[in-house]
Structure 1
Amino acid sequence: MTMASERRTDGGGTIGLVAAIGSVAAVGLGFSITLPLLALTLEDRGISSTWIGINTATWGLAAIAITPFVSRLAARIGTAQLLALAILVLAAALPLFYLSPFWAWFILRLVGGAAVTTTFVLSEFWISSAAPPARRGVIMGIYASVLSGGFALGPVILSLTGTQGLLPFLVGSVVLMLGIIPVLCGMPVAPKLDRRESHSFGRFLFLAPAATGAALLFGTIETGAFALLPIYGQRVGHTRDLVILLGIGVTIGNILLQMPMGMLSDRMNRRKLLMIIAAFGLLGAAILPMVASHFWLLMVALAIWGGVIGSLYTVGLAHLGSRFTGSDLAAANAAFVFCYSLGGLVGPATLGVAMDMWDPHGFAIGIGIFFAAYLAMLIIRMGLARLPRGNSQGVSKGVSKNVS
């Protein structure tokens, strides 16, 4: 009886997983409608690409600003209550973009960015809390696959509604509102945070560097890739009609490979798996220039490479869930999303510079540098972890012998 009670108050088991994954699936689908819709709407209104980029970056600034406070707000308001409120705010803000002048879009981007970041922090915290320890990796893989599927469906919905007029904004708002339904259903079993506990944010940025570093790397690569892959495709000789399909290759890989990678993370040391993923990412960056001029080879390479490196996020989340619980897990998850958002700001600008420095393959070179830096950090970190510490020198040696 005690175990069942603890399970219900710690995320709700299967019910909690369905509620959290269902809500974030709707938010992911709505968000995938929102991003291209907003960019195309601004272009139709004659806004320059520079200002569109600056306005879009406001999402990332809002994410960085709100994440340190999410766990504290959840402790005061309630995890499910704050999650439902954030989804409601995001859904309400979307039609206002269509009705507002451009200067107001910066305010709406800040509000919407804070809301969508809050939904991801809380839903991922809920999933981590509710996932059985022995299956945490595969649960995170299911979550990532569902989220990737939502992102893939967004452009399909836009193709049906069109990108002009108020209709696509209203459809996106309705899709987002659907995410509140599973949250309300799972509200009784949502994880609770004690107001009296400390919800420190900053220390978790460096307490689990393998996980937060994976989030930073993935944020850098994902946003940079989706922003600049079409440009890279054009520079190596492909037509505009073809290069817009390159992102689909990465998305398909994410959908297909997240569950297998999550299952693998349940069966081996997750730090070592992150090291393997980083090495694979570095290898893939080296291979891209060799296949870039052959479109279908490039698509296959992006699908495999993108699917594997997409598990940086999946395995990183599972690693956090295995290390922390309760308010610590909420704060650690906020730090994880913070690092991902920071990577989203760094990625496009840095890779853009690399593409200008090493034309045409600066895209692959820049990505390779990021993977090499993360891999070096992991190797140094694991090497330091094996060094004997103080009075535990003998114990450390014994553990090292057993591990080896």
Structure 2
Amino acid sequence: MVQLSGTLASSLSPRQVRGIIAAIAAITAVGLSLSASLPLLALTLEYRGISDTWIGINTAFSGVASIVATPVGPYLARKLGTPQALLISLLVAGFSLPFFFVLENFWAWFPLRLLFHGATTSAFILSEFWINALAPSKHRGFLMGVYATVLALGFASGPLVLAYAGTTGALPFLLAGAGIIIAALPVLVGFNAAPRIESKATSKLYAFLWIAPAATLAGFVFGAVEQSGISLLPLFGLKIGLTAETATLLVSAMAAGNMVLQIPLGMLSDRMNRRHLLIYCGAFGVVGALLMIPLSGSFYGICALLFVWGGVVAGLYTVGLTHLGARFDGANLASANAAFVLMYSIGQLVGPASTGLALSTWGADGLPLVFAGFLGAYVIICLIRGTRLGAAR
């Protein structure tokens, strides 16, 4: 690790270091607030008497917001500049979040989801493009692993905020919104170190879905599983007999595993076939999801499983982004990253709705069964495409 650090330091200019740190710090603050707000929103709807199915549908609407917002980030970055576009996204998201507490009408939450999740989607697209564009090629996987690790630290800490501030009243909404606004500070620090987009991409955004299908499909599957986990694991916890505050810690366990395993997975992606690594992560995810059923009777057992499972499955995101960063640059990288986030967003739409329906139909077992289904389908599709198109694709 010391040798790697020395080699990495010699590969980065001061501008690159400042820019990467600024982008990582900003999106980490967003991740902390987002991981607190998503289970908070689900529990708030539960307290207001909304059914599991409708909670899942409303949560899935965040995917609609992300799909709509996906082309906006690269467009704003090209017209205004990357840091300017990121600042706008952060301020819109931070100021809109407390209105979920203010607006008690359930139907008003749908347009509010469009605003809030659209802004956070743009923030993620711009931050990941920022990091990927500045990372040197031979250490891109490691740096994306660092990014994912620090982001996971934010996601793991978010539910702890709920354990401290509670899950009722205005305080948790205000704290989560303030966290997103604070994320603007590191953007200002790294303002002059952001990459520029000076021309349009040579391919349409949707073309990247076909150019790099294994990576973009990984984004879809991870979006479905992660969004369902962050939003609906607390409901899964309630169904297996946990209290509301304890149930939110299941999200922390999943995110903590993400934090620990992304650097090793990123380093592996710099040294082996990324397609194969994506398949291995998906296959492990199937087995781990099915093990949630027999381990649901033990709080410590399910937390330990979610720790390992969450870290390995999150490798779909880290390795997928690294794969795209190695293949594209400039405007094409921004569009490829947007295509990845588009698929991730579609997963956000499909996953929570499917999982919410499964929880209503099959009880607690519905959540792990849906997870295993998504991951299993991904592995099968990748194996079929690999047989037909060859590992080079």
In the superposition, the TM-score normalised over structure 1's length comes to 0.83
**How far off is 1:125 after superposition?**
0.7
What code does the residue aligned with 1:187 have? F
**How far off is 1:212 after superposition?**
0.7
Whether 1:279 aligns to 2:294 is no
For the 8 Å contact 1:71–1:199, the answer to whether it is kept is: no
**How far off is 1:167 after superposition?**
4.1
For the 8 Å contact 1:13–1:132, the answer to whether it is kept is: no
Instruction: Pick one of 16, 19, 22 that aligns with 1:16.
Output: 19
Q: Which runs of 5+ in 1 are unaligned?
A: 1-5, 388-398, 400-404
1:205 matched residue in structure 2: 209
* CA-to-aligned-CA distance 1:15-57 (integer Å, 9 cap, x gap): 111011011011112223333444455566x463465554433
Q: How far apart in 1 are the matches of 2:256 and 2:67?
A: 29
**How far off is 1:275 after superposition?**
1.4
**How far off is 1:154 after superposition?**
2.0
Q: How far apart in 2 are the matches of 1:247 and 1:169?
A: 18
Whether 1:86 aligns to 2:98 is no
Q: How far apart in 1 are the matches of 2:364 and 2:194?
A: 49
Whether 1:72 aligns to 2:78 is no
SS at match of 2:71: helix
* CA-to-aligned-CA distance 1:315-352 (integer Å, 9 cap, x gap): 11111111111111101111111111111121133234
Identity %, equivalent residues? 45
SS at match of 2:258: helix
1:48 matched residue in structure 2: 50
Q: Which runs of 5+ in 2 are unaligned?
A: 1-10
Sort the Cα spacing of 1:168 and 1:288 in 2 relative to 1 into closer, same or farther, 3 A: closer
Whether 1:378 aligns to 2:382 is yes
The alignment of Structure 1 onto Structure 2 pairs a total of residues equal to 379
* CA-to-aligned-CA distance 1:264-308 (integer Å, 9 cap, x gap): 111211111111112212232344444444443332222112211
2:179 matched residue in structure 1: 175
Q: How far apart in 2 are the matches of 1:47 and 1:347?
A: 22
SS at match of 1:192: coil
Report 1:5-404 matches (<5 A): 12-41=15-44, 46=48, 48-49=50-51, 52-100=55-103, 102=105, 104-198=108-202, 200-230=204-234, 232=236, 238-240=241-243, 243-354=247-358, 361-386=365-390
SS at match of 2:116: helix
Q: How far apart in 2 are the matches of 1:337 and 1:73?
A: 16
2:4 matched residue in structure 1: none
Q: How far apart in 2 are the matches of 1:378 and 1:40?
A: 36
What code does the residue aligned with 2:64 have? L
1:392 matched residue in structure 2: none
Query: Which structure has the bigger radius of gyration?
Result: 1
For the 8 Å contact 2:65–2:117, the answer to whether it is kept is: yes
Sort the Cα spacing of 1:303 and 1:20 in 2 relative to 1 into closer, same or farther, 3 A: same
Sort the Cα spacing of 1:268 and 1:85 in 2 relative to 1 into closer, same or farther, 3 A: same
Higher RCO (C-alpha 8 Å, min separation 6): 2
What code does the residue aligned with 2:283 have? A
For the 8 Å contact 2:201–2:332, the answer to whether it is kept is: no
**How far off is 1:311 after superposition?**
1.0
Q: How far apart in 2 are the matches of 1:56 and 1:228?
A: 9
Sort the Cα spacing of 1:251 and 1:204 in 2 relative to 1 into closer, same or farther, 3 A: same
